[in-house]
Structure 1
Amino acid sequence: MNKFIYKIFFLVNWKKKIFPVIIQDFLKKNILMFAWLNKWNLLENFFFKKTCFWSRNKKKNWRKGLTSNNIQIIKDIFFDCDIDSYLFKINYNINNCHYNLISCFNYKL
């Protein structure tokens, strides 16, 4: 059995409702966005390799690019030491931010 699948099914704390995920450009390594996942999104992302998130505002699944065509293809999935936050390295076709920018992280304090 694939190690990642094993970790998802047996080591993930399923009592947590949602998990944070950072989206990173696979080639340039730029941070593109931050989102939330539920356990079903995590499994869908792993098997279908297209990003799907949990919308905390709308309380429903949000498939990136479904209406905007801003599709993100997952190349790698990483998780932290206690398997409660994730990093997706992706390829994308157009901008990722809902303000039509490449990244959501464009402002410095």
Structure 2
Amino acid sequence: MSARDVELETAREFARHAVLNALAAAVQAVGDLDRVRIVQMLVFVAGTPDFGEQSNVANPASELLIEVLGENGRHARTAIGVAGLPLNTPVEIQVICTAV
């Protein structure tokens, strides 16, 4: 399956799943969910040159961080469209966080 073959709603679910994985890694690093504060999130979305919904794909991930962490989940965000990602994944997320 190519990343370009994924429907918008499916890509949004992939973004939620990717940010959950990033959040789990952050918790493992600092030891407790209450100590995690998200500073920035960078979302890469694979798609065709005419696809312009990168922010729409990233929104569920941002919303989830705020839902789970409250004010500590508010973050700066960049969503970028790319031609492809490793292993043909449709979404990749990088999160920069700090311990509080």
Provide TM-score, normalisation by structure 2: 0.29
In terms of fraction of residues, the more strand-rich structure is 1
Provide TM-score, normalisation by structure 1: 0.28
The answer to which structure, 1 or 2, has the higher relative contact order (CA under 8 A, 6+ apart) is 2
In terms of fraction of residues, the more helix-rich structure is 2
